[in-house]
Structure 1
């Protein structure tokens, strides 16, 4: 735990009179802490890896192999928390009952450590596909938890890890870095067996991660000119969002009527050949246009084409603010996987607005919006170039606290509350090439699939774009109160179709 070379700041970790390590939380952590749904423990972020074992060792029975794998991951889960102690921290009210603070305490004895390990490491034998278990069976949790899922079917040797954490502790990049570190430790523990020893607890607090405010060049207080500039951006955003035809995903025809829906994930994978064709075709649109820009444009197009037709054509607008990874702009060592257990990202201060037209019901479809893909992709490229930081002193980093504060619901208001006719916005987060974060092979463990996802706010649908093993994967997380899996999967296909048609590519899933 390195401290900035400044006088004590309430956001810095320090030892309390109770023997715990404590600090106040910043605006990013407060946003996610305030986004917890009633009865669900935390607002989660998840990474998942499916894997098989390649080993020449002779194992006497399947039960012995299962035990060896489970022991390896139990040890790895323990050492991951020794390396990243913030994973085991918690947020609670300060003594004055007004502020929130993050608290960490080391284990008092081996019994406490065992209770923690038994409660956060879950070995599951599941029927059916692992995603089916995740969507329908996985329970709410309060602290970072690891699920090792093994199918019950005979001759199915794939196992699946779900690493789930509160979003105020880590983010999409961080949870993948944690997954990579977990496999690294598990591979060593698997190969060394009883010879693999765990470190002693007691000094791990030195590796507690600071909050976002302290690892970037965010000022302690903002100048009048900075506040004025942020207010100008907010005014511009207000104009973008003040539109009678803001696009959202129409409700499914038969969403569940349950008061408490489940958040579920569906995904659509694209073949290597089509992926290569997409990547190649994106570059021909204009310099700097990427697959992220194209799929963001395709998402806007798909939403516009799913809107109800009326007697007259009408204007619509896709509006969104992009997630921005700030890890490359954090001071060393906070820009490395050593501090994966931290939420080092922001939401862009500026909003994106893409204007489209829903044709009249009598329109034959000859002038489809999809023909506009290239034009929209260039606009999206220019927007991303504006909101992506170029230096640690960039306003997109400095304004992060004010952005999160503006997005945080006031006390007593539920951020997930929706109108009587739910508005379902659809943001897209681009994770990039996951193999650049998670190695496909760790000793005897070979990873066949890896993904990461968070959850939408309210009735929204969160869409994620990523690449693994040369395949683009488009996925969506939704609330079953407003949508069903088949509907969202078809919607993902519609986005892909808009991208392919706009690029002039034939389907080849």
Structure 2
């Protein structure tokens, strides 16, 4: 576990900066090492955004394409300066037998170009960003940006490019990635409008921008006080009791493969009309879309369980994933420190009690509405029962690594697949409040982010972009098919629409 006393970056040799990792960073580093034998990076962050630029009759498309690439290359270098933690991988130190982050300032233009060659890649094959992301390219040492060109229609009046961002999770989290993409597009738009007079990014003092870990950013004390420790023990006991003497809902999956395949993303959008109706009904009921869709997930998962001769009680157990930037001190609560891991799962388990109907038991509309109402109330009560205050922040280190095995620098056997998987939900919020839809010449469309899924479960992501709710899923193609996951997403959507009487 990280030594939380050493909170600051230290220059250990000219231009080389190091710091210990905290528990959240250690979590993702350890999980990645444990699953290294799969050839994939566990929980890696993948994000995508579409950029369009207007074209004019007679304009050289190849010249425009070159200008876009040049602007993005410049912006990516600026991101290295503004957010140097993107190039600060976690390494194992055999002398201290612990993990640490290491950042090396480029000493010359050649080193900058070497880094750029490694981390800025142009994909010439005509495919969408999601298609490329679903090919699950390997994760490098540093965060990597891919410039992807989707199939082009010669009659279109715009040029379309897609950016795919790929990074180890111990460098950045989902909300931080969205913030970073907005910063990137802003700088690229400014560079595009002034390429002829664009000055070069100069490295040397960017270490001032290195981000601390959450213990520093959130001012988390080294230890919990007696009251906080008692509260944590009570929460742990409640979480344990929630699993006793009851059937826990699990997600069916293909149990033949022993090794995970590619992490894959698929999504559905609600119509603008349905989105507005959902938002209005949620507001009237005093709940959020997150509450409604988490309730829908529990009931959709319930519908996948094998039915018996009699109806029976069962339980969905999940958690919430929480962006903690609003709990961090300035300036760590801002996009200035996008390249950081400032989030956590909840301490309490989300518990939703449901009834699995008997074989042949028909659905009754009024009963379905009542079931949704009961599930929705349980979700609402869970989300409103706690807040990211000092007590919660004190528990984050335990939530991250309390049950994690010690880090081993050796590549060991891959842990077996989880045979009782579930479905999680990450609520990303209103994305156009994080990424502006227009930055200079660049129109931004369809941003999304997921954590790579190499488990047997599903990771769902809920977001809104320009008035449209999107429900996406990360899944592993060794354990689930695209059709199966799409059916599940549609089931969740239909349950929510019916339950809210939309």
TM-score of the superposed pair, with normalisation by structure 2: 0.92
Query: Is the 8 Å Cα contact of residues 31 and 407 (structure 1) preserved in structure 2?
Result: no
- Which of residues 341, 353, 356 is equivalent to 2:354? 356
Cα shift at 1:138 = 3.1
Cα shift at 1:61 = 2.0
1:121 maps to which residue?
120
Does residue 175 of structure 1 match 2:181?
no
Query: Is the 8 Å Cα contact of residues 128 and 149 (structure 2) preserved in structure 1?
Result: no
Query: Is the 8 Å Cα contact of residues 416 and 457 (structure 1) preserved in structure 2?
Result: no
Query: Is the 8 Å Cα contact of residues 264 and 480 (structure 1) preserved in structure 2?
Result: yes
SS at match of 2:146: strand
- Which of residues 4, 29, 32 is equivalent to 1:33? 29
Describe the shift of the 1:135–1:333 C-alpha distance in structure 2 as closer, same or farther (beyond 3 A): same
Alpha-carbon separation, structure 1, partners of 2:449 and 2:27: 20
- Which of residues 457, 462, 478 is equivalent to 1:460? 457
1:250 maps to which residue?
252
Cα shift at 1:131 = 1.7
Alpha-carbon separation, structure 2, partners of 1:158 and 1:346: 35
Cα shift at 1:40 = 2.6
What are the Cα deviations for residues 394-450 of structure 1, in whole angstroms up to 9, with x where unaligned? x1122111111125344468785325xx22210111001000000000110001211
SS at match of 1:107: coil
Query: Is the 8 Å Cα contact of residues 136 and 263 (structure 2) preserved in structure 1?
Result: no
Does residue 404 of structure 1 match 2:400?
yes
Alpha-carbon separation, structure 2, partners of 1:374 and 1:42: 36
Alpha-carbon separation, structure 2, partners of 1:481 and 1:371: 36
SS at match of 2:402: helix
- Which of residues 233, 236, 246 is equivalent to 1:234? 236
Does residue 433 of structure 1 match 2:430?
yes
Describe the shift of the 1:77–1:261 C-alpha distance in structure 2 as closer, same or farther (beyond 3 A): same
Describe the shift of the 1:497–1:145 C-alpha distance in structure 2 as closer, same or farther (beyond 3 A): same
Query: Is the 8 Å Cα contact of residues 127 and 133 (structure 1) preserved in structure 2?
Result: no
Aligned-residue Cα RMSD (Å) equals 2.1
Cα shift at 1:321 = 1.7
Describe the shift of the 1:217–1:130 C-alpha distance in structure 2 as closer, same or farther (beyond 3 A): closer
Alpha-carbon separation, structure 2, partners of 1:82 and 1:166: 19
Q: How many residues align?
A: 488
Query: Is the 8 Å Cα contact of residues 42 and 142 (structure 1) preserved in structure 2?
Result: no
Alpha-carbon separation, structure 1, partners of 2:416 and 2:107: 41
1:490 maps to which residue?
487
Alignment of 1:59-78 (within 5 A): 60-78=59-77
- Which of residues 182, 186, 199 is equivalent to 1:184? 186
Alignment of 1:163-312 (within 5 A): 163-242=165-244, 244-251=246-253, 257=257, 259-285=259-285, 287=286, 289-312=287-310
Does residue 450 of structure 1 match 2:452?
no
Alignment of 1:102-181 (within 5 A): 102-136=101-135, 138-155=137-154, 157-181=159-183
Which stretches of structure 1, 4 residues or longer, exceed 6 Å deviation after superposition?
Answer: none
Cα shift at 1:378 = 2.1
Cα shift at 1:25 = 0.3
- Which of residues 342, 351, 354 is equivalent to 1:344? 342
1:423 maps to which residue?
420
Query: Is the 8 Å Cα contact of residues 349 and 387 (structure 1) preserved in structure 2?
Result: no
2:8 maps to which residue?
12
Alpha-carbon separation, structure 2, partners of 1:153 and 1:405: 47
Cα shift at 1:72 = 0.6
Cα shift at 1:244 = 4.3
- Which of residues 324, 327, 332 is equivalent to 2:325? 327
Alpha-carbon separation, structure 2, partners of 1:95 and 1:411: 12
Cα shift at 1:59 = 7.3
Query: Is the 8 Å Cα contact of residues 105 and 203 (structure 2) preserved in structure 1?
Result: yes
Query: Is the 8 Å Cα contact of residues 305 and 358 (structure 1) preserved in structure 2?
Result: yes
Which runs of no fewer than 5 residues in structure 1 stay unpaired?
A: 1-7
Query: Is the 8 Å Cα contact of residues 223 and 394 (structure 2) preserved in structure 1?
Result: no
Describe the shift of the 1:354–1:43 C-alpha distance in structure 2 as closer, same or farther (beyond 3 A): closer
What are the Cα deviations for residues 36-59 of structure 1, in whole angstroms up to 9, with x where unaligned? 131335641122111210367x87
What are the Cα deviations for residues 433-484 of structure 1, in whole angstroms up to 9, with x where unaligned? 0000000001100012111111346212100000001100000000111101
Alpha-carbon separation, structure 1, partners of 2:344 and 2:131: 31
Query: Is the 8 Å Cα contact of residues 309 and 361 (structure 1) preserved in structure 2?
Result: yes
Alpha-carbon separation, structure 2, partners of 1:326 and 1:415: 31
SS at match of 2:423: coil
Which runs of no fewer than 5 residues in structure 2 stay unpaired?
A: none
Describe the shift of the 1:147–1:416 C-alpha distance in structure 2 as closer, same or farther (beyond 3 A): farther
TM-score of the superposed pair, with normalisation by structure 1: 0.91
Cα shift at 1:322 = 1.0
Query: Is the 8 Å Cα contact of residues 128 and 162 (structure 2) preserved in structure 1?
Result: no
Alignment of 1:92-103 (within 5 A): 92-103=91-102
SS at match of 2:149: strand
SS at match of 1:448: strand
Question: Which stretch shifts more, 431-440 or 17-26?
Answer: 17-26
Query: Is the 8 Å Cα contact of residues 263 and 480 (structure 1) preserved in structure 2?
Result: yes
Cα shift at 1:233 = 1.0
Alpha-carbon separation, structure 2, partners of 1:69 and 1:258: 43
What are the Cα deviations for residues 186-242 of structure 1, in whole angstroms up to 9, with x where unaligned? 001111013111331110001100000011131122234332321221111111234
Alpha-carbon separation, structure 2, partners of 1:350 and 1:68: 50
